[in-house]
């Protein structure tokens, strides 16, 4: 592992509040919660980081988990606050988020790229002044591909259907299984494990 070439911060994107807890837009929060359970890390509210923060040790390194309290479209505010404080570079950040362009059950790891209209990614990219951070794209499907009449804004703020939820949960479990590799900077191995069923 090259120095500084490992994930030190995992961010789950989502909206705070009970009314949003089970909505598709909170898939990133679901992932952060799952990783925290796996690592036996506890979230606590940190005002200076505008969110819920947990800390763990993985692969001999300190790993931070963050769930911004800022609502999705201002997530970058929390990410930058924590990253600056702990001197974490953008390449050491993994942002887990809901992905309309992937079907429920699909999950993809990638470095950089566009935002695909995701306001949380847009804000993060703007505040980090770079697109070069890691993303964990958790498929939630698109209303068109799922033959639904909803518009996208409405779709992401509703819970997944009963037939979609198990697939999303399984994808999140597969994402949990690569945390050790990410913390150790083994990105190719992480992609191979994640993208091979």
Q: At residue 197, does pLDDT exceed 80?
A: no
| pLDDT in the model for residue 4 | 61
Is residue 18 a part of any domain in this protein?
yes
Residue pair 137/99 in contact by the 8 Å Cβ criterion: yes
Q: How confident is the model at residue 3 (pLDDT cuts 50, 70, 90)?
A: very low
* pTM score over 0.85: yes
Q: Is residue 14 part of a domain?
A: yes
In this structure, what CATH number is given to the domain that contains residue 53? 3.40.50.1470
Q: Please, what is the average pLDDT of the chain?
A: 94
As for how many domains the chain has, the answer is 1
Q: Looking at the domain assignment, is residue 130 inside a domain?
A: yes
Of 39-53, 98-112, 135-149, 180-194, the least confident: 135-149
Which residues are catalytic, by number? 25
In-domain check, residue 167: yes
Domain-located, residue 150? yes
Task: Report the percentage of the chain scoring pLDDT > 70.
Answer: 97
Structural domain including 125 reads: 9-195
Residues 130-136, mean pLDDT to the nearest whole number? 97
User: Hey, what are 179's tokens?
Assistant: 């945390």
Q: Is residue 2 part of a domain?
A: no
In-domain check, residue 22: yes
User: What per-residue confidence (pLDDT) applies to 1?
Assistant: 40
Over the stretch 89-102, which tens digit does the pLDDT of each residue have? 999 999 999 999 99
What tokens does 99 get?
């992905």
Q: Is the pLDDT of residue 179 over 70?
A: yes
Answer yes or no: is 74 within a domain.
yes
């Amino acid at each position: 592992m090259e120095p500084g070439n490992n994930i030190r911060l995992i961010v789950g994107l989502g909206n705070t509040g009970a009314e949003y807890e089970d909505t598709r837009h909170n898939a990133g929060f679901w992932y952060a919660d799952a990783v925290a359970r796996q690592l036996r890390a506890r979230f606590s509210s940190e005002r200076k980081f505008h969110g819920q923060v947990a800390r763990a040790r993985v692969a001999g390194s300190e790993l931070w988990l963050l769930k911004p309290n800022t609502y999705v479209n201002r997530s970058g505010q929390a990410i930058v606050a924590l990253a600056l404080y702990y001197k974490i570079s953008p390449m050491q950040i993994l942002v887990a988020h809901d992905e309309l362009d992937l079907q429920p059950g699909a999950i993809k790891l990638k470095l950089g790229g566009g935002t695909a209209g995701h306001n949380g990614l847009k804000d993060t990219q703007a505040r980090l002044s770079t697109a070069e951070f890691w993303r964990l794209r958790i498929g939630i499907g698109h209303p068109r591909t799922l033959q639904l009449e909803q518009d996208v804004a409405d779709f992401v703020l509703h819970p997944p259907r009963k037939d979609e939820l198990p697939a999303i949960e399984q994808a999140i479990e597969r994402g949990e299984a690569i945390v050790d590799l990410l913390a150790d900077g083994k990105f190719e191995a992480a992609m191979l494990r994640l993208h091979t069923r």
